[in-house]
Structure 1
């Protein structure tokens, strides 16, 4: 039946490579398990919650954030869900949800580090200098996005607005060094709280966050980019 086959085709496109997302997430959590059980990582409290609780919240928010982006991108790309329901308000509505989850993601990473402060056996001054050093490419990235790339494009406007699909790749600013600057440099932001607070748990969560964003790239963004830009070629 045509209607049934169309439905299966839509589902297959929405869930394209999400089996890999799940597999890599399970593998990443499994690889982190020994570190999460280490005593220095479990020390401390913040706001009445122990560090293990903050770690769990940080992981839950990170997974929720990336699943939200996957669902919104794929439903819009293959079903035009947001623009059909909300018209021109579709992208801003998606963007508001993205921003809320991104801020929650950063806040939980900071909370983990603050809860578990001073658990690294290294000189605090050196760690804070490393935190400042990590902030430099992050600031340059945001400058490059604002000046050359635009935040709309960074949030995935090409899933919503076909006119963006014919625009050239950005090669200015930090993007001259890598096309994946947001993954390479943007997630250095996750390392800053752990370094600043000297937190073992903060660095473990930063490692998870930085590795997990590449899962999003492999399982969601790269397949979408191939589909979007091959169609517009």
Structure 2
């Protein structure tokens, strides 16, 4: 259990720190009271941040329970990973999609020329699409859902080096995640961009407190 919880104090600390900073920043915007689908922008941000915590706690705890203790397969047998994967692909998109109602509640609050917003979307789009293509056709959505925590065969496999992985070891967090900024840019929403930045920062916290240490456990210390 010690390995399961390793670095998770830091993970939780950064969740609290980033969340506190997020609340402080949002409090400076009067448009936080604007509403969409019955909730204020501030309430949507609260939902968004709660989902961020649930999502990363779900992945970290369950994937490590299997990697270090073999508990998920012990409890659910061969259905263990498919069950885990359903939660992985429900919570992740749901969490990131909350940036859309935040942005729609605060349309046209970004003090930036629309031409600049459009340019940022256009410039980042090819890198985002290349990242998605590389994940789907080279890395695989199965592996992206922490399959290497469940299948010992990955321990003897090589790191992916095709597509964008030739140049970056973690393109998902460098380029793929940039898509969450597009809602704020598209609808010119200041709080949409603030929420996106908070999610982006917290995802990197997961990388250093969970993914990176586990990669060394699975693939060896030189990854």
TM-score, normalization by structure 1: 0.89
1:175-229 CA-partner distances (Å, limit 9, x unpaired): 1121011111121021111111110110000100110001101111111111122
Structure 2 runs not aligned, ≥5 long? none
1:13-36 CA-partner distances (Å, limit 9, x unpaired): 111000111122222223334321
- The residue number in structure 2 matching 1:230 is 220
Structure 1 runs not aligned, ≥5 long? 1-10
- The residue number in structure 2 matching 1:107 is 97
- The residue number in structure 2 matching 1:168 is 158
SS at match of 1:214: helix
- The residue number in structure 2 matching 1:79 is 69
Equivalent residue in structure 2 for 1:23, among 7, 13, 20 = 13
Equivalent residue in structure 1 for 2:146, among 139, 145, 156 = 156
Between Structure 1 and Structure 2, how many residues are aligned?
222
Structure 1 segment 1-233 matched on structure 2, within 5 A = 11-40=1-30, 42-230=32-220
Taking structure 1 as reference, are residues 41 and 128 closer, same or farther at Cα in structure 2, changes over 3 Å only?
A: farther
Give how far 1:41 is off: 5.1
Taking structure 1 as reference, are residues 41 and 206 closer, same or farther at Cα in structure 2, changes over 3 Å only?
A: farther
- The residue number in structure 2 matching 1:4 is none
Q: Which has the larger radius of gyration?
A: 1
User: Is the CA contact 1:35–1:41 (under 8 Å) kept in the aligned structure 2?
Assistant: no
